[in-house]
Homo-oligomer: A and B are copies of this chain.
Amino acid sequence: MTELEAVVATVDDRVRPDAAERTRMGEAVEALRGRVERALAEGDVPSAVAERVDVLQVGSTARGTWLAGDRDIDLFVRFPTSLDRADLERYGLSIGRAVLPDGHEEYAEHPYVTGEFDGFDVDLVPCYDVDSAAETRSAVDRTPFHNEYLRARIDEERARDVRVFKRFLKGIGAYGSDLRTQGFSGYLTELLVLAYDGVVPLLRAAGDWQPPVEFDLADHATREHDDPLVVVDPTDPARNVAAVCSAENVARLQHHARDLVDDPRTDPFFPADVEPLDEAAVTEHLARRGTSPVALRFDAPEIVDDQLYPQLEKSLDGIAGELNRRGFGVLRGETFADDSAVVLLELATRTLPAVERHKGPPVHVRTHAEGFFEAYAHDETVYGPFIDRDRYVVERPREWTDAHELLASDALFDVALGKQIESTLRTEEYEVLVGDEIASLTGEFGEELARYFEPRP
């Protein structure tokens, strides 16, 4: 057994659900399945429909690839495609409420019911019983096909590999296909383990990946994808399972896989919690860095994380682009969200001269040149026009000489911001923090500031 194989075994000892957990899980699933059957028999689903419905357990707990302590049970209730969508939703919710009377409704592409049962977090999701994953009416219809594909291929050993790889991705912060993380989904994790026939060869290979890296397990791809990692869905030839996975997370996996292969150990799988920074530490970092930080702080709009984080990223990109164009020299930026949301940027300088160079046309391009000269010849606010090489030039008043003023003004809305973030900033008070005022963010974001000021791969 190599050192790396020994690490895999040790990690799995910690993350493998034990027999008691498996038994409890199996019992809970059976009990839930019974409740669904009863709801179908006794509820308001017409019997002609009810007899064509089946109930499937899907997700990692259906395949033995869950990590010990994860308590998610995903039950899909599959309806015939002849049912119209409104009925599917209605029947789905009705069964859900009967099975999980204390649960509540959530909305993805369909509404579904989520609730607790016997200590487990249960999602009860209605979907259509389509003929193939390529014909799905919504994303959830695809899940049973994924489940079927994996169940047939993941044996006990591969289930172990999947658990260990998941734990590794969690440890390095690259697990999850939510739009905050933009990392590796559970399904992607399992397909990669299958592609390499084990976690050890996968980890060894990842360090040598030359993106774009492509896998097509079913050898049936029908299109190109412009992503650093392409894993063609074996149940849907047009889909890249890794579409959401960012270049950063691919690089992160490559970095940490090399590091682990080079020095096999369990630490990277179970990193220590990040110590939050306090105000003094932030102030010290800022003094050491000598940058000019600015931050917007506002109440986080009430939208789901998969909307909020992309909007925060978009807002950061828009604001950073504008500050760069205006000459403030953005060094780095980040967004944080909890009850408030923050867009933080560190600038080379918060203030700039009152004048900026404005290059006119070449003097020999007569019509343009005369227009430019006339426009500024009698303008008392500019220096020039004068000639530099073959062109007219003026030094005109700079529109924004202080990044703080720009961010506190309506000019903020000339920038592409996330939609609900823009409406929040337009309609509510927001703060612009500068310099050491940034330290006040430690109250809510000490951990995020630690990650920002002590950045790691």
Q: Which residues of A contact B (CB under 8 A)?
A: 207-211, 228, 247-248, 250-252, 254-255, 258, 288-292, 327, 329, 331-332, 346, 348-349, 352-357, 362-364, 366, 369-370, 373, 383-392, 395, 401, 453-457
Q: A211-B364, A390-B211 are in contact. Are A355 and B290 (CB under 8 A)?
A: yes
- Check B455–A386 contact: CB distance below 8 A: yes
- CB of B391 within 8 A of CB of A355, answer no
Residues of B within 8 A of A366 (CB): 207-208, 258
From B352, B369, B389, contact of A348 by CB (8 A): B352
Contact between B363 and A251, CB atoms less than 8 A apart:
yes
Task: Show 11 residue pairs from A and B whose CB-CB distance is below 8 angstroms, ordered by the A residue.
Answer: A251-B387, A251-B391, A289-B354, A289-B383, A290-B352, A327-B329, A346-B353, A349-B352, A373-B457, A385-B457, A392-B457
Chain B hits for A354, CB < 8 A: 288-291
Measured CA separation A329–B351 after assembly (Å): 13
- Write out the residue numbers on chain B whose beta carbons fall within 8 Å of the beta carbon of A386: 455-457
Which of A211, A250, A251, A289 gathers most chain B CB within 10 Å? Answer: A251
Q: Are B247 and A395 interface neighbours, CB within 8 A?
A: no
- Asked if B211 and A383 sit within 8 Å, CB to CB, the answer is no
Given A348-B327, A348-B352, residue A247 in contact with residue B389 (CB < 8 A): yes
List the B residue with the shortest CB-CB distance to A213.
B364
Given A352-B348, A395-B289, do A357 and B332 touch, yes or no (CB 8 Å)? Answer: yes
The interface residues of chain B lying within 8 Å CB-to-CB of A208 are 366
User: Which residues of chain B are within 8 angstroms of A211 by Cβ–Cβ distance?
Assistant: 364, 390
Q: Give A352 to B247 CA distance when docked, in angstroms.
A: 31
Give the complex CA separation of A356 and B362 in angstroms. Answer: 35
With both chains docked as a complex, state the minimum distance between the C-beta of A340 and any C-beta of chain B, in angstroms: 25
Count the copies.
2
Q: How far is the CB of A245 from chain B (nearest CB, A)?
A: 12
Query: Besides A208-B366, A331-B395, A346-B353, 14 other CB < 8 A contacts?
Result: A207-B366, A210-B364, A250-B390, A251-B363, A251-B387, A289-B353, A290-B352, A291-B353, A331-B355, A332-B357, A332-B395, A373-B457, A384-B455, A386-B455
In the complex, the answer to whether A228 meets B291 with C-beta atoms within 8 Å is no
Known: A248-B389, A332-B395, A355-B290. A455 touches B255 (CB 8 A): no
Contact A252 B357, beta carbon cutoff 8 Å: no
A454 to B290, CA, bound (A): 35
Give the CA-CA distance A386 to B451 in the complex, in Å. 10
- Give CA–CA (A349, B209) in the complex, Å: 43
Closest 4 CB pairs of A and B: A290-B354, A386-B455, A251-B363, A290-B353
A388–B248 contact, CB under 8 A?
yes
The answer to whether B331 touches A353 (Cβ under 8 A) is yes
Option from B254, B352, B353 in Cβ contact (under 8 Å) with A363: B254
Q: Tell whether, in the assembled complex, residue B289 and residue A355 are in contact, meaning their CB atoms are under 8 Å apart.
A: yes
Which of A329, A353, A454, A457 neighbours the largest number of chain B CB atoms within 10 Å of its CB? A353
Task: Specify the chain B residue showing the minimal Cβ separation from A385.
Answer: B457
Least CB distance from A288 to B in Å reads: 7
Query: Complex formed: what's the CA distance from A360 to B211 in Å?
Result: 17
A332 to B356, CA, bound (A): 10
A357 contacts across to B, CB distance below 8 A: 331-332
Give min CB distance, A36 to chain B, whole Å: 45
Question: Which residues on the B side are within 8 Å of A401 (C-beta)?
Answer: 290
Least distance between A363 CB and chain B CB atoms (Å):
4
Measured in the bound complex, the distance between the Cα atoms of B391 and A267 in whole Å is 24
By the criterion CB–CB under 8 Å, are B457 and A387 in contact?
yes
The residue on B at minimum CB distance from A211 is B364
Question: Are B255 and A373 in contact, with the CB atoms below 8 A?
Answer: yes
Which chain B positions have C-beta within 8 A of A453?
A: 383
